Structure 1
Amino acid sequence: MLDRRALLRGLAVAGGLAVAGGISGCASPFTEVRLRLATGGTQGVYYTLGSALAEAWQQELGMRVAPEVLATAGSVDNLRLLTTRAADVAFSQVDAAADALATLPPGSSTRPSALGRVYDEFVHIVVRRDAAAHRLADLRGLRVSVGAKESGVYFVAKRLLESAGLAVTDLQAAYLGINDSVSAMQEGRIDAFFWTGGVPTGGVDNLASHMPIRLLDLTDLLKTIRTRYPVYAPGTVPARSYGIEKSITTVLVRNFLLVDASMPDDLAYSLIKALFEAQSKLVVINPLARSIDLRAAISTEPIPLHPGALRYFREAKDA
Structure 2
Amino acid sequence: MTARRSARPISRRTAARALAGLAGAAALLGAVGCASGSYQGARRELAIAAGEPGGFYLTFADMFAARVNAVEPQLHAVAVPTQGSLANLELLRGGEVDLALVLTDVAKLARQDAALVGGAVPLAALGRVYQNYTQLVVPADHRAEELADLRGGTLSLGAPGAGVTVVGERLLRVAGLTEDALTVRRLPLAAAGEQLRAGGIDGLLWSGGIPTPALDRIAERQRVRLLPLAALLPRLRALHGAVYEEVSVPAGTYGLPGETPTVGVANLLVCSPSLPDDVADAIVRVLVSEAARLLPPEALGTQYLDLRSLIGTQVPLHPGAVAAYRRLHG
Q: Distance in 2 between matches of 1:42 and 1:4?
A: 38
Answer with 1 or 2: which has the greater Rg. Answer: 1
Where does 1:202-281 land on structure 2 (aligned, <5 Å)?
202-230=213-241, 231-281=243-293
Q: Structure 1's 30 and 171: CA in aligned 2 closer, same or farther, altered over 3 A? A: farther
Q: Is the partner of 1:250 in helix, strand or coil?
A: strand
- The corresponding residue for 1:298 is 311
1:69 deviates by 2.8
* 2:82 aligned to which of 72, 91, 100: 72
Does the CA contact (< 8 Å) of 1:158 and 1:168 recur in 2?
no
- Following superposition of structure 1 onto structure 2, how do residues 1-319 of structure 1 map, counting pairs within 5 Å? 3=30, 6=33, 29-63=40-74, 66-103=76-113, 111-230=122-241, 231-283=243-295, 287=299, 291-294=303-306, 295-301=308-314, 303-318=315-330
Deviation by residue 1:153-196 (Cα, 9 ceiling, x = unmatched): 22221111111122455322221122222222222222111011
Kept in 2, the 8 Å contact 1:143–1:192? The answer is yes
Q: 2:104–2:268: 8 Å Cα contact kept in structure 1? A: yes
Aligned with 2:278: secondary structure?
A: helix
Contact kept, 8 Å, 1:283 with 1:290, in 2: the verdict is no
- Residue 254 (structure 1) shift: 0.3
Output the amino acid matched with 1:153.
Answer: V
Q: Find the aligned partners of 1:286 and 1:29 in 2 and give their Cα distance.
A: 35
SS in 1 for 2:64: helix
* Identity percentage of aligned residues: 33
Once structures 1 and 2 are overlaid, which stretch shifts more, 110-119 or 216-225?
216-225
* 2:313 aligned partner, one-letter code: T
State how far apart, in whole Å, the 1-side matches of 2:120 and 2:232 are: 38
SS in 2 for 1:67: strand
Cα pair 1:110 1:262 within 8 Å, conserved: no
The two structures have a TM-score, normalised by structure 2, of 0.81
| C-alpha deviation, 1:67, in angstroms | 2.5
Q: What is the deviation of 1:279?
A: 2.8
Query: Where does the alignment leave 5 or more consecutive residues of structure 2 unmatched?
Result: 1-25
TM-score calculated relative to the size of structure 1? 0.83
Higher relative contact order (CA 8 A, sep 6+): 2
Equivalent residues, number: 298
Q: Secondary structure at the match of 2:44?
A: coil
Q: Partners in 1 of 2:63 and 2:47 — Cα distance? A: 14
CA contact (8 A) 2:57 2:208 kept: no
Aligned alpha-carbon RMSD (Å): 2.9
